[in-house]
Structure formats: structure tokens, C-alpha cells
Structure 1
Amino acid sequence: MAPKKSANLPDEVEEIKKSLDFLSAEIKTVAAQQNKIMELMGEIQSLKIQNIEKDKKITFLENRVADLEQYTRMNDLIISGLKTRHRSYARAAAASEDTAAGRGGADAPEVDRESLEQQVLCFLDSKGISVDSGDIEACLRSKNTTATPAIIIRFINRKKKYALIRQGRKLKGTNVYINEHLTKKNADIARRARILKKQNKIQATWSTN
């Protein structure tokens, strides 16, 4: 006996067809979304590569600027720990003393009228260190706010600078130090190196510019 045909078969077929059409549309939507996601992932990867390249370029430029900044200091030395009198203060103090003593400023002690450069040269000379003032291009205090600001000396060339560095050992025990005028970045590296030396993790440390 042949199986009995369902009276609702055409409707069931239609429902199946609609379901297949719906699934097909959903698959197309998902596929389109996947393609969009892949495109976005490609763009993100491209941006990552560009960002890495930009970071490399920024690092290169920062290092280049740091090198140029250090290069501008190649004739400089920095003296730390040396106490000096500010010229304007010295003049005011001398004038006050002169007024109290009833005499003119011409009789004020010569040391009170010395420039910063003269004070530095006088100190160095007292320690047996010879420096010709004609070899100095500039002498000024650093902008730090410590009680004893460091003093920056710029020589006319590096030979004159190294001549003073070689005499630096004569300052041993004075708490006055002569060093290269390093940038903040290089000075920090030098400071960390000195710490490692104190910890006996390295044998020696030095800087040259």
C-alpha cells in the first residue's frame, strides 16, 4: 500500500524554502561582516606598522637632538661644589660696609668686586691649577636652585678644556669637582654608572665629549 500523501506537503515545502532563503541571507550577511572585519583588521595592522615606524623616527630624532645638544657643550666643563659670591650681592655688601665705615666704594676689598670668572680662577690657582683667562669664552652659573649652583665654563676649544680636566686630581679632598657638561639624559646615565661602580658591579666609569 502506497504511503499516504500529506495534504500539508506544499505548505511544508514552502516553509522549508523560506527557511533556506532566510539562512542564505543570514550567511551572506555574516560573510559580509566577516569581510568587513578582515578589512578593519588589515587597516589596524597597517596602522600598527605605521605607528612602529613613527616611534622609530621619533626615537631617532630625539637621539639626534640629544646628540646635537651634547655637541654644543663639547667645549664646556661644569664645576660643582664651589661656593662663590654673586657679584651684585658682593657690590651691595661692599657698599653697605663702606657706608657704615664712612668711606667710598673704591676702598672696598678687591675680592668683593671680582667677577665669577675671577673667583673661579682664583680658587683654581690656590690649588695649583693653572688656567689662562684668555682660554675662557664664558663663565656662568647654572640655572639650578641649589644652595651652591654649579658653574659652567666654556673654553675656546676642547684642548683647553681637557687641559683643565687633567689637573682635576689636584682638587681631591676639596669637595669641588670638575666634570664634562653633560645633557640631563647623559648626566643621568653617568650618575647610574657611578652608583654601579660604588656597588662594585663595574670596574670604572668615565665620560668624554
Structure 2
Amino acid sequence: MPPKKYPAQAEEVDDIKRSLDMLTEEVSVVRQQQKTIMSLVEEVKALRLQNIEKDKRIMSLQNRLADLEQYTRMNDIILTGVEIKPRSYARAVATLNEGETNEQDVTSVEQQVMAFLHSTGIELDRDNIEACHTLPQRNKMDKPAIIIRFTNRKHKMELLKQGRRLKGTDVYLNEHLTKKNADIARKARLLRRQKKIQSTWTANCKIFIKTNGTPEQAKVQVIKDLEKYQ
């Protein structure tokens, strides 16, 4: 025979049952919320993976675009340190007003470049030049940089080999690098001065470095990023 319940005990039992029922409901709600949260977490993970893949594709496209931009400059040389005089004041004013160099001024720049290079003993066939003109200047007081575009890469390489004749002067012949590659080349030269690498140079618009170490350990590498050498 079950024990007899007194009114106070019965009320207490009822309270406990109601509490358990409420707790059960709350647990059910929490479990549902947990499922929702886990579902959202999985969705966030999937979105992150998608973003990583998109970032990789974007980086790949950016690199391809940078390579294409550099390829368009493969036949170019940048000549710096040579003073170029305008053909006449009137023509110079007309050029500034037009915002571009006309054919006669291009010829003038080309003639002055040819004359200067020949004066240093550098041989250059004018028929191998496709274009020759100054680049826009940030500081009008500086000597303008001059771009020399050749009909093919072989003639560009021939001129670069003769660049040693300019050693000891303030005139330089360099490949026409994109802003990105020029920045990498500048940082590589800084690393060389800091003795973090042995040497650096460019060839066919690619930046090369030779790492530190013994002759057996040192490696020649084409670089597109210098972070691990910083």
C-alpha cells in the first residue's frame, strides 16, 4: 500500500514535476539551438573554404596579369642619367600642350640617345629600334628616364651587355620592369647590402638572387616574393 501523501508533500511533488517539465523543455530548446549553431558553424567553414579558393584564383589571375604586363616590356630598356634637350622652345611648349610627343620629337630623342651611346663606345643600330621616347617625370628638375624599345629581345640583350662601358658614370641601362618587379628588385638590392643574400640581378625581366652559403650550399633562384629572406 503506497504511503499516504499529505497536501504539502503533494504540492511539493507537483512543483518538482513542473520544474522537471520546464527543464526538459529548456533542454530541448538548447539542443535545437545547438543544432542550429552547429549548422551555422559548418556553413561558416564552407564559406571560408570557398573564400580561400576564391582568393587563390584571384591571386593566380593577378599573377597572370602581372606576367602579361611584364611580357609587354620584354623588348624595352630604360636609360637614365642622360640629359635630353628639346628641339626648340616652341616645339617643347607645343608638346606640353598636346600632352604627348610627336614624331619629330621622338626622332630628336632617338638621335640624342644614339649620339650619347656612340660617344661612350656603345654600338647601336638605329634600325633595331622600334621606339625611343622619354617617360613622364615626377620631378621636372631630374633628368628624364628614356625608354628604348627594340624590334626583338636579342638587340635588347646586346645593348645590356655593353652597359659595362657606362661603369663609373651616372648613366644606367636597365630592363623595363613593372612597378611590382621593380620594387622586388629594389628590396633584393637592399638584402644584398645587408648581406642577407650574396647577389641579385635581372635577366629577361626576371629577378634572380644567389643565397648565402658555401659554393655547394648557395643557390640561384628566381624570386617573386622576398618575405622569407627579410
- Length-normalised TM-score, structure 2: 0.76
State the Cα deviation string for residues 39-64 of structure 1 (Å, max 9, x = none).
11111111111111111111111111
Larger RCO, structures 1/2 (Cα 8 Å, 6+ apart): 1
| Residue 203 (str. 1) matches residue 198 (str. 2) | yes
**Which residue identity does 2:132 align to in structure 1?**
C
Q: Percent identity?
A: 58
Contact 1:79–1:179 (Cα < 8 Å) also in 2: yes
**Count of residues in Structure 1 that have an aligned counterpart in Structure 2:** 190
Is the alpha carbon distance of 1:18 and 1:91 closer, same or farther for their aligned partners in structure 2, counting shifts above 3 Å? closer
* Contact preservation (8 Å) 1:194, 1:205: yes
- Paired letter, 1:49: L
> Partner of 1:48 in structure 2?
48
How do residues 1-209 of structure 1 correspond to structure 2 at under 5 angstroms?
5-87=5-87, 89=89, 91=91, 115-146=108-139, 147-209=142-204
Please report how far the alpha carbon of residue 92 of structure 1 lies from its aligned counterpart in structure 2 after TM superposition: 6.1
**8 Å contact kept, 1:91–1:113:** no
Query: CA RMSD for the aligned pairs?
Result: 2.3
Opposite residue 208 of structure 1, the aligned amino acid is A
The Cα shift of 1:8 comes to 2.9
Greater fraction helix: 1
Structure 1: distance between partners of 2:5 and 2:113: 117
Q: Deviations over 1:60-102 (max 9, x none)?
A: 1111111111111111111111111234537469xxxxxxxxx
Compared with structure 1, are the counterparts of its residues 13 and 203 closer, same or farther at alpha carbon in structure 2 (3 Å cutoff)?
Answer: closer
For the pair shown, the structure with the greater C-alpha radius of gyration is 1
List alignment gaps of at least 5 residues for structure 2.
94-104, 205-230
| Structure with more of its chain in strand, by fraction | 2
